[in-house]
Amino acid sequence: MSNSPFAEWMPAVQGLVEAALARHLPGADCIPSRLHEAMRYATLGGGKRVRPLLVFAAGELTGAAPEKLVIVGCAVELIHAYSLVHDDLPCMDDDVLRRGRPTCHIEYDEPTALLVGDSLQTLAFELLAGAELGEPARQLEMLALLAHASGSRGMAGGQAIDLASVGKPLEQPELELMHALKTGALIRAAVLLGALAGQPLTTEQRSQLDRFAKRAGLLFQVVDDILDCTASTATLGKTAGKDEAADKPTYVALLGLEAARTYAEELRADALAALAVFGEKAGRLTQLADFICHRQF
């Protein structure tokens, strides 16, 4: 898989992850069946799987085995899926469309969607704790990293700042923190976790990989903000133009569209520069950063 063209590698990884998620999510025949059916609805059959792709691409830096990467990729994707289900709830973004389908609380109901998010989060940690990923001490480090990245000082904290910011200008430190946390923290975790699944990195390599991971997280968010105001709802599979309508602080609102595009290119260049230390092994991460920067959906 490691030498295939990007256009073949991407669907191959997505397919692996989809199959593994389908295997690790409890079956709809398992009690409580409605909850399990809703968990599968919210997780399977959609999504770009950007975070698992990052896990696999970063894993190539350290020669990690695909059977370990797929577990790590599933764990990160389950955290992402939980956050989408909860973010879409009426008391949060109140959204009805996700991945081109009704959101979980529309298709099922609100209490079920709440429990779906709760249970997907738990399953992420159950999966990561239960798998045999090599050294137990390394695995604990991975669990702690994923938990920190998704909790109140990570993704959920970014969501809290985002909520508080609607309709009022944020202070600059809070705005940057919000962007770094809400999407950035989990993207960064995906990169670091993928690398942790293989051979140890040197301190310098780890530092450069972290630089890449932070830039990639910001890049993803900036491009997301650009697409929110330039792409159609049909292309995105979620409601377009929503950030502006909700008066949310986005990079486009902050910088304007053209400057946001320039900023995205700068972030991409800086992310790629950080990969120099890895030489050829960083080929896949380079391609993925290009994809994240130039995607149309």
Beta-ladder partners of 101: 98
40 binds a second copy (CB under 8 A): no
23 vs 153, beta carbon nearer a second copy: 153
Rule CB under 8 A: choose which of 14, 43, 103, 159 binds a second copy: 159
Going 26 to 236 to 291 to 182, the CA torsion angle's sign is negative
257 binds a second copy (CB under 8 A): no
Rule CB under 8 A: choose which of 46, 101, 170, 174 binds a second copy: 174
Rule CB under 8 A: choose which of 43, 119, 221, 286 binds a second copy: 119
**Strand residue runs (E) in 71-117:** 97-98, 101-102
Is the separation of the CB atoms in 26 and 36 below 8 Å? yes
22 binds a second copy (CB under 8 A): no
Is the separation of the CB atoms in 28 and 40 below 8 Å? yes
Region near a second copy per CB under 8 A, out of 49-57, 58-66, 116-124, 225-233: 116-124
110 binds a second copy (CB under 8 A): yes
140 vs 246, beta carbon nearer a second copy: 140
Helices (H) and strands (E) in the chain, counts: 16, 2
121 binds a second copy (CB under 8 A): yes
136: CB partners within 8 A, 6+ apart? none
Distances (CA, A) of 222 to 20, 219, 229, 254, 285: 30, 5, 11, 11, 18
Distances (CA, A) of 254 to 65, 170, 287: 42, 11, 28
Rule CB under 8 A: choose which of 5, 29, 31, 234 binds a second copy: 31
Nearest approach, Cβ of residue 93 and a second copy (Å): 9
Region near a second copy per CB under 8 A, out of 55-63, 114-122, 248-256, 286-294: 114-122
85 vs 252, beta carbon nearer a second copy: 85
Distances (CA, A) of 135 to 70, 131, 149, 200: 17, 11, 21, 11
Nearest approach, Cβ of residue 184 and a second copy (Å): 15
For the chain, state the CA radius of gyration. 18
* Interface ranges with a second copy (CB under 8 A): 26, 30-32, 34-36, 39, 82, 86, 89, 91-92, 110-112, 114-115, 117-119, 121-123, 125-126, 129-130, 135-137, 139-140, 143-144, 147-148, 150-153, 156-157, 159-161, 163-164, 174, 177
